[in-house]
Amino acid sequence: MTDQKKSDQTTTSEKPWGGRFSEPTDAFVERFTASVGFDQRLYHHDITGSIAHATMLAKVGVLTDDERDQIIDGLKGVKEDIEAGRFEWSVSLEDVHMNIEARLTDRIGITGKKLHTGRSRNDQVATDIRLYLRDEIDVIAEELKRLQSGLLDLAEREADTIMPGFTHLQTAQPVTFGHHLLAWYEMLVRDADRLQDCRKRVNVMPLGAAALAGTTYPIDRNLTAQLLGFERASENSLDSVSDRDFAIEFCSFAALLMTHMSRFSEELVLWTSAQFDFIDLPDRFCTGSSIMPQKKNPDVPELVRGKTGRVNGHLISLLTLMKSQPLAYNKDNQEDKEPLFDTVDTIKGCLKAYADMIPAIRAKADNMRVAAKRGFSTATDLADYLVKKGVPFRDAHEIVGKSVAFGVAESRDLSEMTLAELQQFSDVIADDVFDVLTLEGSVQARDHLGGTAPAQVRAAVARARAALK
């Protein structure tokens, strides 16, 4: 036998599953099928899961207490090695699970080989992802809350600031800036709800399903679930190792969150433009141009809007990954990780940027006010005024339409016309009309639950703060 052959044979027998194979894995296939390059980030949760598994095995008598202690000490040592950068990940050991197990056996000898009793990588990886995602959900929930709380502070500060409200991006009616911000806030309330709902289904333990059918050892799944803080153990072994619907659900939450943040971004980009000039973003959230010295670009909102594309894409990746898989585990599922990890990283980044940036937004109230006036935004108020004086709404609509046409021709807002000018269009118009034609009068009149009046904005902020606690 040549030296080359000998070393190939050694490689094959080093694989934890190498026993039934008669030739080493093709070098390219080894790299092609390996996941260690990206699943090593699960090391912490993999070790946590293994410690709980070994604890349970000792409790039911499959391991001795001494074996359990050796395994747990060994796993803690492996974790220290990884965190100190002393761990060399090996592609020939395929994934995070086999890398850690092999290192455990290097450290503690033959007892290390007993850890995998009564489990499979199939239930192990399903457990690891759930533990990982549960932790990330808690981090994301906190960051989301920080953004929500920043929005409430800004909404309160801007409760009296008047801006044009839009439909079709055409000036419609005046609203308060605080009210507009609270619309964003409501979207995030639903996102936060969806996240917590998703967490319930993430927090179920697959471990014990083993490869697909369960195991012949007298395992205590409830104990392992309790040790790992899971709400309960899963019901069906085939389902436990195969479905990734919990990850899809998370990505669907993330896609909606990003869709909302992308809408906020679009408005921020518009509002910082010279054409709107409604707000100022602090310089630290913007960048310049290498050629045009005057430029201050809203890069953060633009990037958040852009990153929505990849997050939406990951949702479609996972849905497509799952759609034709027969029960139970298939290697396809190894492809669940990169989209999931990137979704988590992306939304954490976007949330952080927004939670830092939103409270620093400065409203340019004068510009908002001028824009609200320019668009005849109190036209509906004039119509409502006429209706209250007994004019049918359709006739009132016609009268106001004519008044607006006059204003367009004269370049004057309704509130800037004289009483005599307004009376040309209807003789029921009296001096009190000016109370409703002002922007303040208009927003103050919408004084009901969910309306734009400053008092309603303040009340909504107070309710939201109490609910956010």
Using CB under 6 A, list all residues that contact ligand ARG: 35, 39, 95, 121-122, 125, 331, 333-334
CB of 126 to ligand ARG, least distance (A): 8
Cβ nearer to ligand ARG, comparing 191 with 336:
336
Asked whether the CA dihedral 402, 406, 409, 411 is positive or negative, the reply is: negative
Cβ nearer to ligand ARG, comparing 149 with 333:
333
Cβ nearer to ligand ARG, comparing 121 with 314:
121
Give the Å distances, CA to CA, from 463 to 153, 156, 158, 192, 450.
13, 12, 17, 16, 12
Residues 423, 178: Cα–Cα separation, whole Å: 35
45 is catalytic: no
Cβ nearer to ligand ARG, comparing 241 with 261:
241
Give the Å distances, CA to CA, from 459 to 85, 150, 158, 469.
53, 17, 13, 16
Q: Please tell me which residue in 22, 168, 324, 448 is annotated as part of the active site.
A: 168
Among the listed residues 314, 313, 338, 333, the one whose alpha carbon sits nearest the alpha carbon of residue 323: 333
For residue 173, give the 3-state DSSP assignment: strand
Residues 228, 45: Cα–Cα separation, whole Å: 10
Residues 272, 175: Cα–Cα separation, whole Å: 19
CB of 331 to ligand ARG, least distance (A): 6
Cβ nearer to ligand ARG, comparing 39 with 156:
39
Cβ nearer to ligand ARG, comparing 122 with 317:
122
CB of 88 to ligand ARG, least distance (A): 18
CB of 289 to ligand ARG, least distance (A): 44
Burial of 85 by CB count in 10 Å (0-12 exposed, 13-18 middle, 19+ buried)? exposed
Q: Please tell me which residue in 7, 13, 273, 289 is annotated as part of the active site.
A: 289
289 is catalytic: yes
CB of 26 to ligand ARG, least distance (A): 16
Residues 35, 98: Cα–Cα separation, whole Å: 11
Half-sphere exposure (Cβ direction) of 450: Cα atoms closer than 13 Å? 1
CB of 25 to ligand ARG, least distance (A): 13
Q: Could you tell me whether strands 162-167 and 204-205 are parallel, antiparallel, or unpaired per DSSP bridges?
A: unpaired
Among the listed residues 330, 131, 139, the one whose alpha carbon sits nearest the alpha carbon of residue 224: 131
**Residues forming the active site:** 168, 289
